[in-house]
Amino acid sequence: LMTHNTLTSEGVADMKHYDKVILGASIRYGYFAQEVHQFSKQYAAYLNTIPSGFYAVNMTARRLEKQTPQTNPYAHKFLRASPWKPSKSAVFAVALYYPRYSFFGRTMIRSIMQLRNADTDPKTEKVYMDLESEKAFAQEMVMLRGGDVLYLLKEIKREEKTEIIVERKSRLYLMCLKGV
């Protein structure tokens, strides 16, 4: 079990004690904590050899079309840039509890939500979490075995190549349309 401050205070003496790793990270005002990026870089070589999982939690995932790592902008950007390629990844929505936030936190979140035409009533307490999808992710992680990793890494790389090709075709198409 590792805490949010694993890299900054206690450190991880030897990652080889773990046969599976799941990293969960939340978005705060549009960004993952720097420790999340640091962890993924520092341990990528080992994490890419064992069953590993990543999940992101954020308010954007309250919308159904933003609940996958491919469609959630924060998870997608992180996974694309990270040298760590988790065997499984997921995105989960969070709860919105305006009355529990500090004045500053409530004001910031309401401003962001207003830009998105979402709940801004300061009395709002709403749960967007889908416990069934969270349980399903946990069960998938439990079922992963070391032998699955190589296959999953190849599949991830194939998907990334396909995505890059699609992006290049889209850019080329736009360039042709604009006459550049």
Coil, strand or helix at 93: coil
Q: Give the residue among 89, 97, 47 at the shortest CA–CA distance from 67.
A: 89
What is the helix (H) or strand (E) element at residue 98, kind and residue range? Answer: none
Least confident of 5-9, 14-18, 53-57, 175-179: 5-9
pTM of the model: 0.74
**Residue 36 confidence class, pLDDT cut points 50, 70, 90:** very high
- The predicted-structure confidence for 95-128, as pLDDT tens digits, reads as follows 888 889 899 988 888 888 888 888 888 888 888 8
Amino acid at site 36: V
pLDDT at residue number 20 = 87
Structure tokens at 171: 């850019």
Query: 48-81 pLDDT, tens per residue?
Result: 888 999 999 998 888 889 999 999 999 999 999 9
pLDDT at site 12: 54
Token reading at 34: 């720097």
- Token pair recorded at residue 152: 């999953």
Indicate if the alpha-carbon torsion angle 48, 53, 57, 60 is positive or negative.
Answer: positive
Which residues lie closer than 8 Å to 165 by C-beta, 6 or more apart? none
* Domain residue spans of the chain: 6-94+129-145
Question: What is residue 78's three-state secondary structure?
Answer: helix
